[in-house]
Amino acid sequence: MASARLRKIFHYPEDSGDDEYKCEELDEEGVFLVALLNSRIFPTNSSTEQESVIEGLRIQNNRRNTEYRTTFAVIPLLLTLIFIPSVFSKAPNPQDRVFSFFGISSLIATAYTMKYLPIQRPDSRGKRSMQDPGFLVRIRKLLLLANTAICGLLLLMYIFSPVESSHNTQQTVYIVPGLMLAIVLLAQKMMVSINLNHLESLRYSYKGV
């Protein structure tokens, strides 16, 4: 019932052929709207009602994104502790020390990417933005490329390490940076799964239609 209510609030009156397509997009993007509408039944389809729904969504979405950024920035920093023994061991294998530094660098880069660097959002049609991405977005791409290369190197080190090696158990930590990077990228994808700008583009007043 809430989904039907949502479709009634946000739709195009001039093109019935596009209604079904837009409503399908709203079904995907309206997870938080359904919860909001289940607890609040609005009496009219006014512009104020639409604005209040979108504003409530924006607050909830921003809160969720803040929680994601904080959580998935702290976890990589905590995981750097697993590489500390190799770095400060009294008689470390030089190779282990180098790759431990790589692991620490990768996890720090992952935390920085999640916490501070902006996420490039697609336009309302789902395409990549054609605008100048900006300095921070370029830095994010370069940092992500370097981080991916480090994770790949650590993964190869783990794969080709001798099974009988006494350091094999310790080298299993080399797969941690790659796993953490994959989890963070998935979290960022979830953060952009709801496009509030698209909902705002569907907003209109019934007056004058």
Note whether residue 103 is domain-resident: yes
Q: Cα 98 from chain centroid? A: 30
pLDDT digits (tens, 9 = 90+) for 179-193: 999 999 998 888 876
Note whether residue 208 is domain-resident: no
> Number of structural domains, the chain?
1
Q: What is the pLDDT of residue 163?
A: 62
Buried residues in 21-39 as b, exposed as e (16+ CB within 10 A): ebbebbeebbebbeebbee
Note whether residue 112 is domain-resident: yes
- pTM above threshold 0.85: no
CB 143 within 8 A of CB 117: yes
Question: What tokens does 150 get?
Answer: 């480090």
CB 34 within 8 A of CB 2: yes
Note whether residue 46 is domain-resident: yes
Domain that holds residue 7: 2-202
Note whether residue 117 is domain-resident: yes
Note whether residue 91 is domain-resident: yes
Q: Which segments of the chain does DSSP mark as H helices, in order?
A: 2-9, 16-29, 31-39, 47-79, 84-88, 94-116, 135-159, 168-171, 176-191, 196-202
pLDDT digits (tens, 9 = 90+) for 101-156: 999 999 999 999 998 876 766 554 555 544 445 777 788 889 999 999 999 999 99
